[in-house]
Amino acid sequence: MDFIYYDKNLIVAVKPAGVISTDEPGGMPSLLREALGEDTDIRTVHRLDQVVSGLMVFAQNPETASELSRQIRAGEFKKTYLAVVRGVPEQRRGRMEDILLRSKEQRKTFVVNKPCRGSQEAVLEYHLLGTNGEKSMVEINLITGRTHQIRAQFTHRRMPLIGDRKYGGRDDGCNI
């Protein structure tokens, strides 16, 4: 495990691609316990998709988990993402505001045209960091944190994330 920060209340560690965020066999909390060699109380307070690598923050007690969850709900906990997408955004900086609907059967999230039962507002802001004309690196700040939000919103705009096999540029029509 690659630890960035560790104290009695929290852990910041690198989640490798392919590892789940949640407390299941082979998941990050389990791997952290193995690495620490302790029977540690490790709680997941936010998630990263299994296919994604990146920094994650874990609480080591109920009080810290509660405070971190409060900060996330209040928008005080900032999460920044980097992604390489196919294509080039129209604007160097932008905001995506959509309505998302999760299909449990397909285990995917889709942009829909109007609110309906189960749909949620999704907002993110992005900044184009560079492009070669075919692929672009973007920095993304989530305003809301919906399941597969980044993947769904960029794919809807025909800019799927490179390496994303689940959303990978297929046109799903975005109407369920």
Cite the active site residues. 49
CB 94 within 8 A of CB 36: no
User: CA of 15: how far to CAs of 46, 91, 93, 110, 113, in Å?
Assistant: 12, 31, 28, 26, 34
Per DSSP, which regions of the chain are E strands?
Answer: 3-6, 10-15, 43-44, 54-59, 80-86, 93-103, 108-112, 120-131, 135-142
